[in-house]
Structure 1
């Protein structure tokens, strides 16, 4: 039978004076080959385009490595931030029961070595190359035995600069990209092992140690692609950090600090970005939208009150809008949904779909989220679809007041879907627009007073007339248009309406600040939804802490929230029973 190859590494801390005696043990478990295999037939596969030194076998040559221009895999480019970080590599290894020191081994000692498997030979040459300062790759092999049960009887490992790039790639005239730099130098350094049936082991048949190029200094060896890899332990750690919203650059900094320098990490920042990108591509291989909908479907198994709906473009089948709200958000709306802040934020995904957030204020004046939506555009029809989904999700409970940033399409949609709700424009956005459109400090101060002061309607009209005359702004287009919409922002016209102290969409801005700490700008929709949920979990935990420490009777609020949740759940069950007959 065949035994599994295992790699066991142990190390001990040393001082600088003991550097020459530093030991890192690499122990290999042997792999036994079945000697009963018929080795009368021969098959040889070459990957470097050079003839083999073994003249007793027939060869079938295929230029796999050297023939492809893009397979020139020795890349000595370094990240700038890795330069200058020394990392010392151990030069001792244990092969079988014999410990050898690579730096002190002679060529004759290496030629006399024996290995029980191809993998063991490769691992030895891998450590040898890392210690000496060059990268390696697998090259030729020869197989013998009947079809279907052939075994490798010869394998060659070479310096990554072995061979030359095929001339047809260099002379190609219709290239679309520039040539990559030449790295192959026809280096002759190599290690070849041959299987001896009598011994049942692989013996070294050829060993060339001379290179025709400069070797890499020890502090740069870890930057060779062949020596850069993310271990299983590191993958588990960085996956956990990334799943909780930690940015890739911060994860890399954490790993560098943990390993004691860039040389000890074993991979570069670019490798880490590539790892996350490949992982995400595997998740969304069937499409970003499909992965996102499947994510919501799986989430509904643990949250039966989750509501989600999406709309597709009839012309191309692409997702146009997506709305969702979890059970906690729906229960909170039934307790605190009298006033809703409705705002849009941008640059939260790679498709530049705006994010619409429905938020409100709880009994501790803390921001709570009622739902969210991703939309492809900001037209009145799109906003109407979102608001109708929100209304259906909340069992047709209309809010009493809505606060928005003043977008025209949003305002029109609110009029049609929430005709009885009082619409208020965000005071912060109005102040900002005033500063951009009217360069008059006296008017800006007076505008704030007109907005916030507890005037009666007659007092407001009188004050506004004086303000316009004093600052000579009669006929100013922005001032005139804003005055026409006075019922949407002046306290004098809103004093008898309930807004729960919400005058701005700052609740939404607070949510945006939380999301920004979890979500990167160019993420996929699936990744955004996952990180968005992480942000909501953190916010919910904070709200629970405020409930415990708050002065309001938290038990009464929880009872009301539980009653609202049960009410929604009952409606949900009724609808489900109707659909199922």
Structure 2
């Protein structure tokens, strides 16, 4: 009867002790053995089973994961407020729990703008405390050192997860291009590209309209003649070289 679920109860005192041992790195079997020794009972005579301790571990881990997820989102929100270059994106499931999240701190985003021509992406499989695949975007700087462009935590390694992550990466690339464009506009605002040469610009200021038109015609004609002369010189030198080669 004592092994029925209704009779297997972990008291608040035992729960506190179990969680303390868990924080110390004890496994389920080790926790069970410690409690048996402390209570001076034979193996298998506790009021609960190893399975109950394992379920308690999972319950606490899931609760911690939810709290840590909210803390991570709060950190990203605060970082975005402090630094506009901080990039992050996330998705929630139907239960309102964090599903996937990507983030790129300001230094990583700056590296991406400089060295993002080649990006390598890979994941580690559930090697963290949350047993979630951890993805990282990396590249190489001009010193040959590995640099990180961004990181992601994924709930799973499905096509949908990777598709979402690639869309985020493309969106950030668009942001990068827009920021570069805005920077160029700010830098060159008020100035205009000059399609004419400085000589033509100065001539326009000192010559009459008729004289300036004649000047432009002569200027274009001289450019054409110069190109022809250059081409003729090249052909002449090429022929001379061939002739010398044949008769030497």
> TM-score, normalization: structure 1?
0.20
Is the helix fraction higher in 1 or 2?
2
